[in-house]
Structure 1
Amino acid sequence: MRIVIQRVTQAAVEIEGSTKGQIGPGLLLLAGFTSDDTEEDLKWMAGKVAALRIFSDDEGKMNLSVKDVDGDVLVISQFTLYANTKKGNRPSYINAAPPAVSIPLYERFVQLMEEAMGKPVQTGEFGADMKVSLLNDGPVTITIDTKNKE
C-alpha cells in the first residue's frame, strides 16, 4: 500500500458535479493498493497516519497528530500511485491491484481509518472520475509505502 498524505485546511471531492466528500482542517489521503497488500499493511498504515505528528503545537513545532487536533480525513483511491514510468512515455499500472482486489482493500482501509480516528472519514467513489480540490497547508505532503515500513 502506498499513500500520499497532504495536510490541508480544506479538501473536497466532486463526482459528476456533486460533492461526495468534504473536510475542513485535516488530511487528504491518496491511497493506492497492490495485490499483495495484507490486513496487517492496512492496519499499520491507518495507525501510522492517525498518529503522524505533522500539525503544529502552540510553539509552532510539528508535534500533534490529526487526532490531537480533531482534524478530519478524506480518503481517495488512486491507482496511479503505482505508475511505472521506466519505459517509454506512457505509464504502466501493472503493479496496481485490479478493482476486484483493490476495492475491498480500499473499503477496509477506510473502516480502519475510522476506527483509528474514532469518527467517520470522508471518501471519494472508487473508480469514478473525481475532481479533487484542496488547499495544502504548509505545504506538507508526505508519502508512505508499507513496503518500506521497517
Structure 2
Amino acid sequence: MKLVIQRVLSANVRVEETEVSSIGRGVVVLVGIGEDDTELDVDWCVSRITKTSLWPEHIGADPAEEGKPWQQSVASAHLDVLCVSQFTLCGVLKKKKGGVSFHRAMRPERAKEMYETLLQRVRTELPQSSKVEDGVFGARMHVSLVNDGPVTLSLDSRTGNGTTPVSPGTDHSREGVDNL
C-alpha cells in the first residue's frame, strides 16, 4: 500500500462542483492499494497515518515558540484526516510508449473494501474530536489543500520507509510501531 501524507492547514474534496468533505488542520492522505496488499498493509498504514509525528510541541504558536519539531501526531494533537483513494499511486511507466500501466493496482471492488477498512481503523485510532473524512471512491475529484510547511511524506508498506515493512505471509503488523 502506498501513501502520500501531506500536513495541511485545511483541505477539501469536490466532485462535480459539490464539496463532499473538508477538514481543518491535519493531514491529507492519498492512498494507493496494490494488487497484493492485505490487512497487514492496512495495519501498517493506519499506524503511520495516526502516529507519525509531523508537528512541533506547540502547534500554531509563533515559529520562535513552537518548541521541539516533530513531536506531535494527528492522534496526540487531536487533528483531522482527509483520505483520498488514488489508484494512480500504483502506476508504473511503460518502457516503449511513454504511457502508464495500472496493472499493479488492486481491482476496484476489492480495493473499495480495503479502503473502507482503512478508514474505519483510522477512525478507531483517533480521538472523537478528530474528523476523518474521505472523497468519493472511484470518482473524479478535485482536491484542494493548504500545505503546512510544506511537509509531505511518501510511504510504502512494502519497503517500510525506515521501519519494518510488511512481508507477505509474515505478521509484522505490530513491529516498528513503537519507533515512530
The question of a shared fold, defined as TM-score above 0.5 by the shorter chain, is answered with yes
CA-CA distance at 1:44 after TM superposition: 1.7
Question: How far apart, CA to CA, are the structure 1 residues paired with 2:86 and 2:133?
Answer: 15
2:58 corresponds to 1:34: no
**Alignment equivalent of 1:72, drawn from 60, 73, 80:** 80
Asked if 1 retains the 8 angstrom alpha-carbon contact of 2:54 and 2:72, the reply is: yes
Q: How do 1:42-81 and structure 2 match up within 5 A? A: 42-58=42-58, 59-81=67-89
1:87-106 correspondence runs (5 A): 87=95, 88-106=97-115
Counterpart position of 2:92: 84
Task: State the partner residue of 2:170.
Answer: none
Q: Give the TM-score of the pair, scaled to structure 2.
A: 0.80
Partner of 1:137: 148
Q: How many Å apart are 1:118 and its aligned residue?
A: 3.2
- TM-score when normalising by structure 1: 0.95
Structure 2 unaligned runs (5+)?
59-66, 165-180
Identity, % of aligned positions:
36
Larger RCO, structure (CA 8 Å, separation 6 or more): 1
Task: Please say if residues 35 and 101 of structure 1, whose CA atoms lie closer than 8 Å, have aligned partners that are also in contact.
Answer: no
The structure with the largest alpha-carbon Rg is 2
Bigger strand share: 1
Amino acid at match of 2:126: M
User: For residues 73-116 of structure 1, what are the alpha-carbon distances to aligned partners after superposition, in whole Å with 9 as ceiling and x for unaligned?
Assistant: 00000000011014232111111111022110111110011111
Partner of 1:124 in structure 2?
A: 135
Amino acid at match of 2:107: P
Q: State the one-letter code of the partner of 2:147.
A: N
Contact 2:15 2:139 in 1 (8 A): yes
- Verify the 8 A CA contact 2:5 2:30 in the aligned structure 1: yes
RMSD value, Cα: 1.2
Consecutive aligned runs of 4 or more in structure 1 exceeding 4 Å deviation = none
Distance 1:73 1:134 in 2: 12
Structure 1: state its 5+ residue gaps: none
